[in-house]
Amino acid sequence: MSPCSRYPVKTARDVASKEFDYVVIGGGTAGCVLASRLSENLKHRTLLVERGPVIDGWLSNVPLVSSNFSDQKAPVYKWQSTPLKGLGGKSLTLVTGKALGGSTKMNGLIYSRSVPGEYNAWEQAGRKNWGWQHVEPFFKKSEDSLSHGHSLSRGNKGPWQNQSVKKEHFESVRTNIKIAVDHGIPLVKEANDPAAPAVVCTPLDATIDRDKHRCSTDVAFLPRSLAAERENLFICVETLCTSLDVKHTDDGQPRVVGVYLEADSDATERYHVSVTKEAILCAGAIATPQLLLLSGIGPEQHLKQVGVPVLKNLPGVGFHLQDHISVPLVFKTPLDDSIEVLMGKPLTAVGQFLKYIFSGKGILGQQVQQANIVLRSALLDDSSQLHSMQPEELDGYNPLNIPDIEIMFLPVNTTGQQFDGLAKSFGGFSYLCSVLRPKSFGSVQLNSLDPRQQPLSDVGTLSDEEDRVPIRKALRLALTLAAKVRASGYPLEDLLVPASADDKVLDDFVRDNIMSTYHYSCSCRMDDLEQMGVVDDELRVHGVRGLRIADASVFPEIPACHLQAPVVMIAERCAQFILDQV
């Protein structure tokens, strides 16, 4: 049975020539939230357009299984970045979600907000009403924290459920938490406590509901029952928005009056729907600038080069694309103490499957990444010791203290490389070392006028040499932790590690093993027009009426966290901006 026969959806043909108050383009992390909130007012005819299908099979709800986007059947787009100058011409594999719910259908499930100083920095930079006091209510609005709902800073009435790990499943993770604390890193049980120090080791919240199912934004905000009962809400899946219909008003200002649609699998028929109030782009940091460029909104010079008529010269479109920088260290562990045990021991896999079916417990009902370390690399000395931990340096509300590195504890080989004996005689454990506040950035440009082709995606990795300093510090700290883990008696053996901690050796290791963190952002930044901004402080596109953006592309700088929670917050705020003016 087709998923579309179970979930109430429309096709591009079904909505052709119809009129809507709001059209939300992109039914991913943000789009599901926005369509749900806008359609709460039954007077608003709201259309949500998603290129991917509805994915609601049983396996798509199993947290561990659905996080494996290397599976050929995973609901994702995969393509290569442009050759990256900072990596000597090497390209990285890029991945984004392709389904209703977007990347929340296949991401690592981590619910993280970043420290309050993140948003206070936005406000200090001129983003009016974007400080922590302004964004915290919108984090809480969407959330139902099953573990920390009693906290004044957490939500317990929203549709989007998350919970923290009660006990880390793997001894390798538990040992690393103990070693990190012994190393002087404070242990905090609530990962998203705004009062927590800016240097922390913590078990992580994950978007897993009370039934131990993945809680993606389509499931949370657009469940089948809601989609069926709201006659003013229309959800088109497997439908591609090819461009915006932009007309100039009597005063010469461009305005979005409609959108052009095609079935994703069929480019022979083009359909048009009218927009009476606003179109909102929620297609993500790659597809949103691509769609703007295809519609003639973007840098004049680039549009002329590719042959797109210029409707609005907006130089910031596609500018400043960012991604977190990640490099794995991989070690051998006992097979039973890693996720590889599910592949190496069929009976164990069957046992875990049955445990999940009957109780929701075991490996399958948890996220891969159960704990991490975040801190500011400037606090580490050359021997990876925290040389200073003054109270003013731990204040998470201070923009000067935003963490710039993360070390993820992952009981699995994260590289995709095949190692002889892995999942047969031993398992894998990875320290995934990330730069959370890279200075490097790249761009999104058109590669083709065909909207089905991925654009030129230059994530800019290590284009700024200053980013080499925090990644070296993160790697050295991970090597120090690994040495202490071994010294404690845990059997950790080198599998993929640099030969030494010298700068040159680390730089070569980074070049050979660096990977995308799949956290694409900032390509249509919220900033002043003179600063290459694309949207204003209420997410309206500069100089184009009837058009907003609400996805990761609008972040002024990439947040120092996993991105799904901040993206949902952006969508909640966008809905409020729109509804406040009605």
Mean pLDDT of 155-172: 94
Sorted by where each starts, the structural domains of the chain and their CATH numbers stand as 9-580 (3.50.50.60)
Residue 134 annotated to the active site = no
pLDDT score at 579: 95
Mean pLDDT of 221-235: 97
pLDDT score at 535: 98
Q: What residues contact residue 199 under an 8 Å CB cut-off, 6+ apart?
A: 185, 186, 374, 375, 376, 379, 386, 389, 393, 394, 403
Mean pLDDT of 92-117: 97
Query: Tokens in use for 333?
Result: 């562990």
- Quickly state the pLDDT bin for 252 (edges 50, 70, 90): confident
Catalytic residue among 44, 320, 324, 562: 562
218: helix, strand or coil = helix
Catalytic residue among 44, 148, 320, 519: 519
Please count the CA atoms within 13 angstroms of the CA of 416 that sit on its side-chain side. Answer: 10
- Is 426's pLDDT higher than 90? yes
pLDDT score at 15: 97
Total length of the chain: 582
CB 564 within 8 A of CB 270: no
- Evaluate if pTM is beyond 0.85: yes
- Quickly state the pLDDT bin for 291 (edges 50, 70, 90): very high
Rounded distance between C-alpha atoms, residue 521 and residue 558, angstroms: 6
Mean pLDDT of 411-434: 95
Rounded distance between C-alpha atoms, residue 167 and residue 42, angstroms: 44
pLDDT score at 2: 42
Rounded distance between C-alpha atoms, residue 502 and residue 485, angstroms: 21
Rounded distance between C-alpha atoms, residue 105 and residue 466, angstroms: 34
Query: Tokens in use for 370?
Result: 């159960």
pLDDT tens digits for range 65-83:
999 887 777 889 999 999 9
The one-character DSSP state at 422 is B
pLDDT score at 3: 42
Rounded distance between C-alpha atoms, residue 320 and residue 440, angstroms: 8
Residue carrying structure tokens 């599998």: 495
Mean pLDDT of 446-467: 97
Nearest CA among 339, 354, 438 for reference residue 64: 339
Mean pLDDT of 545-573: 98
CB 445 within 8 A of CB 303: no
- Is 279's pLDDT higher than 70? yes
Mean pLDDT of 264-272: 94
- Is 33's pLDDT higher than 80? yes
Mean pLDDT of 342-356: 95
Average pLDDT across the chain, whole number:
96
- Is 473's pLDDT higher than 90? yes
Residue 562 annotated to the active site = yes
pLDDT tens digits for range 481-527:
999 999 999 999 999 999 999 999 999 999 999 999 999 999 999 99
Query: Tokens in use for 480?
Result: 């120090």
- Is 177's pLDDT higher than 50? yes
Query: Tokens in use for 495?
Result: 């599998």
Strands 233-236 and 254-263: unpaired
- Quickly state the pLDDT bin for 5 (edges 50, 70, 90): very low
- Is 435's pLDDT higher than 60? yes
Query: Tokens in use for 285?
Result: 């940091």
Rounded distance between C-alpha atoms, residue 314 and residue 300, angstroms: 7
Cα R_g (the chain), whole angstroms: 23
Amino acid at the residue 137: P
